[in-house]
Structure 1
Amino acid sequence: MAKKKPARPARPAKSAEPTTAQLRKEYYARRAAEQALEELGLRLEEREPPKGDAQWWASARDALDRLEILHAVWRFTGLAGFSPEPEDFDPDRGWPTAEEVEAVFGSWDKMLDESGIDDAIFGVVVEKALSAHEKLAAREKELELRAGKLEDEGKKIPELKRREEVARAKRDEADGARATAEAERDAVGRERDAAAARVAELEAEVATLRAAAAAIADAPPAENELLEEMERTLADAAATQQARDELHDRMERLRAEREQDRRTIAELTQLLARVDTGAEDAGAAESAEPEAPPATVLEAVERAAAQSEHLRFAPKAFETAAESPFRRPGLVLRTLRGLDALAARYEAGDMGKSLSQLAAEHGITQWKGDIAETTRKRYEDDYSFYLDGPGSPKLWVGPHIGLGSGSGAQFIARIYLHVSDGSDPDVPRGIVVAVVGRHLPDTTT
């Protein structure tokens, strides 16, 4: 099939006609060359003009046309990201036409097969990049939804804390009222027993007086007075019994209210523990079951130690955690997980900021500085520990983290740390958890 060859661009015209001097110079130069050839026995007019190989030139033009088209296909695909269709080759934009492609290769599909463009690696790369982009977009949307849910949960925390404080205040009030009621009940019981003993004494005296009245006829006034006193005593005893019954009913009501407050506090504590544990679990899938909050501080430390990759735990951390009555072990677990991420950055030397600033980036806001030297000397046993038990290096606690609010070991806790810079060959660079639980003694206690 005949192919259409793009017209070659015309050579640019000369800027001006040659002068007579130039023509004369060219003529004498040509004549000198002819004379030199004649002296050698060569005459140009006697030789036949050379002939070209038309078939060879046709094959060369075909090969060049194929290379030009294949180059255009690969260039279009590299720029656009997909293989061209016939309508994509616009000659006005410098591309060969579909007719030229069919003239050289026979068909568009044959040209694509010979180009090998469908097996090109960047096609696979583009496909995988688009697939990865879709997955990242879906993941981003999922994370946005999860962040929104966590933000909503975070907004509930102040209200939950307020409800817990109200319930705790009501419980304390109920405990005080119950103690008062029990004291009043005991007092009434003592009065009732005394009144009953007095009634028994009076009844015995009445019986004695009645027997004496039967024997002495002139004694009725004394007997009447004793009978009236006995009736008054019996009336007082009845009033005391009624007051005792009322106090008993009041104590039962207070006991029921106290039990209801106890259940409310337990529910709020469990909900707050779930918030403490689940607030950082932003990467878990929505279909996965929520993590059960730890029941005790010791369980929180054991779970964190099993999951930590960089944070180290001294034996004393487990001993002190077992003695801690802190009511929010989920907060302890979440803080220890944040410390593990902080320890990873500290081990790698990825700092540029202070540890307190980096701790805030991992959700640890109550970071405290080092311990005063006077406190260490006064309470050496409390502020020192062995890294791996007796016989291992003895270290000192330094920075610590405050947890919770209020007063008492049930509402506040501390995590004491040792930060090693790696200068001691026996203690590698890193962060060690030394004490978890109660506030250690200091100069203010």
Structure 2
Amino acid sequence: MAKKKPARPARPQKSAEPTTAQLRQEYYARRAAEQALEELGLRLDERPAPKGDANWWSEAQAGLDRLEIMHAVWRFTGLTGYAPEPEDFDPDQGWPTPSEVEAVFGSWDKMLDESGIDEAIFGVVVEKALAAHEKLGAREKELEQQARKLEDEGRKIPELKRREEVARAKRDEADTARQEAEAARDAIGRERDALAARIADLQAEADGLRAAAAASADARAGGAELELLEEMERALADQAATQQARDELHDRMERLRAEREQDRRTIAELTQLLARVDAEVGTAAVDAEPETPPATVLEAVERAAAEAKHLRFAPKAFETAADSPFRRPGLVLRTLRNLDELAGRYATGDMGKSLGQAAAEHGITQWKPDIAETTRKRYEDDYSFALEGSSRKLWVGPHIGLGSGSGAQFIARVYLHVSDGSDPEVPRGIVVAVVGRHLPDTTT
């Protein structure tokens, strides 16, 4: 802490010499007082002059000097936060001189001891304030590091999504190739079995011809046997070629199976990483321990419902969440938390903008304002729900899209009911009605 020298007020100046008029006025006032006393029988010149006590006066002056120096010490400490040293008392700044302190107390240290300034709470307060400031600085750096970490992970999300899409495409390609290879393998197997049966028939026929050739010396029978043997050799060669093709297909299937397993592990790792990022990004984490991402969509909805201050949840929201296979429950939790903030704004009154515009300010980008009336009528049971403790039917309208791709594992929806407060049974606010699978519509 920098030392600051307080400015001492200027000493009062001696009054100027009295004027002649002032002296004359004082003389007449004194004469009037003397005449009044003489009328009472009192004469001041007949009374003895009073005597003072020199010892008493000196002790009082010494006490006043001590009090003045004590006051200066405590005032200096209160202004600067530390006890003064001899060089701190500058008479030009209105402070007593070190020589005056020594003349009154005997020494500077003795003056500090008698003042009790070393036991004052100023030092303790300053030390605690500095320690608290240091802790706050360390905490601020820690929060900045966490914020930078979250920003870095947020910047990785597009690349992670791209890698997930690439891995998913490779997996689909591998599945297609595997299915084609299995179909080719089955066809070759059937062909091999047919050739084996044909070879067995030819061998049996060859054995019969050999027996006939041995019993007959007919030249034509010998030629037929030779032709049969050549045909059998060709069949055996075809079988060997078929077996080689089958082995090659088997090796290819094993490679495709290994690649598919690797793609499956990659997708699982990317899904876990996205779930952790979805749970952390946008929630300016102030806790030292990171939040554990939810494992299922139902867990995400239950956690959001427990934390919600403005958002309401229908029983159907939990039922549909339990049936959802969506792989990014962390994204569901983050969206519901942002939606709770939006519900708080909506409940206060007119926001001066549409719900979709306000939702974008809370990080909700895939906002759909309503459901087509024909869809709502065609699939009445899917788009209606009831609040807990009420049998009254309510309809969903606005909804939010989550994820990308195709299939319930990669995309999800959050369907809402928005009440403007005109219905006395449903106060103004936002109700989460359905969380999970895309509800049927005219395109499905």
Shorter chain as normaliser: what TM range? 0.7 to 0.9
Q: TM-score with structure 1 length normalisation?
A: 0.78
8 Å contact kept, 1:367–1:399: no
Distance of 1:122 and 1:235 partners within structure 2? 104
Separation of aligned partners in 1, 2:143 and 2:81: 30
Secondary structure of the corresponding residue to residue 409 of structure 2: coil
Judged with a 3 Å threshold, the aligned counterparts in structure 2 of structure 1 residues 35 and 292 are, in CA distance, closer, same or farther, namely: closer
Q: Write the letter of the residue equivalent to 1:175.
A: D
Cα distance in 2 for partners of 1:76, 1:115 equals: 12
Q: Does 1:217 find its partner at 2:218?
A: yes
**1: distance between equivalents of 2:347 and 2:372?**
26
Equivalent-residue separation in structure 2 for 1:178 and 1:358 (angstroms): 48
* 1:150 counterpart letter in structure 2: L
What SS does the corresponding residue of 2:15 show, helix, strand or coil?
coil
Q: Residues 48, 177 of structure 1: CA spacing in aligned structure 2 closer, same or farther, 3 A cutoff?
A: same
Any conservation in 1 of the 2:276–2:292 contact (CA below 8 Å)? yes
Deviation per CA, 1:236-263, whole angstroms, max 9, x where unpaired? 3333333223222222222222222222
1:427–1:118 CA distance, 2 compared to 1 (3 A): farther
* SS of residue in 1 equivalent to 2:385: strand
Q: 1:237 corresponds to which residue? A: 239
Residue 412 of structure 1: how far off its partner (Å)? 1.7
Q: How many residues align?
A: 430
State the match for 1:169 in structure 2: 169
1:11 is aligned to 14
1:24-423 equivalences under 5 Å are: 34-52=34-52, 54=54, 57-58=57-58, 60-105=60-105, 108=108, 111-112=111-112, 115=115, 117=117, 124-206=124-206, 214=215, 217=218, 219-220=220-221, 221-279=223-281, 280=283, 282-285=285-288, 288=289, 292-306=292-306, 311-339=311-339, 364-372=363-371, 374=373, 375-388=375-388, 391=390, 394-418=393-417
1:439 aligns with 2:438: yes
Alpha-carbon distance in structure 1 between the residues aligned to 2:138 and 2:351: 32
Shift of 1:373: 6.0
Q: Which amino acid aligns with 1:217?
A: D
Q: Which runs of 5+ in 2 are unaligned?
A: 1-10
Match of 2:402, SS state, is strand
Output the CA distance in 1 between the equivalents of 2:128 and 2:76: 20
| Alignment deviations for residues 197-218 of structure 1 (CA, whole Å, 9 cap, x no partner) | 3334444555566666656937
Moved more, 294-303 or 49-58: 49-58
Q: What is the rounded CA distance, in whole Å, between the counterparts of 2:228 and 2:270 in structure 1? A: 62
Distance 1:226 1:316, change over 3 A: same
**Letter matched to residue 47 of structure 2:** R
Match of 1:4 in 2: none
Change (3 A) 1:211 1:55: same
Q: After superposition, give the CA deviation of every residue in 1:30-83 in whole Å (9 maximum; x if it has no partner).
A: 656555554444444333344555555545544543443333233222321223
Contact 2:81 2:123 in 1 (8 A): yes
In structure 1, the residue corresponding to 2:440 is in which secondary structure? Answer: coil
For residue 134 of structure 1, report the CA deviation from its aligned partner. 0.9
CA distance in 1: counterparts of 2:348 and 2:61, whole angstroms: 63
RMSD of the alignment, in Å?
Answer: 4.0
CA contact (8 A) 2:412 2:438 kept: yes
- Partner of 2:48, secondary structure, is coil
Q: Following TM superposition, by how much is the alpha carbon of 1:170 offset from its aligned partner in structure 2, in angstroms?
A: 1.8
Shift in Å at residue 95 of structure 1? 0.9
> In structure 1, how many angstroms separate the alpha carbons of the residues matched to 2:87 and 2:164?
72
Corresponding residue SS for 1:381: coil
Matched AA of 1:406 = G
Equivalent-residue separation in structure 2 for 1:27 and 1:209 (angstroms): 175
Cα distance in 2 for residues equivalent to 1:349 and 1:115: 63
TM-score, length basis structure 2? 0.78
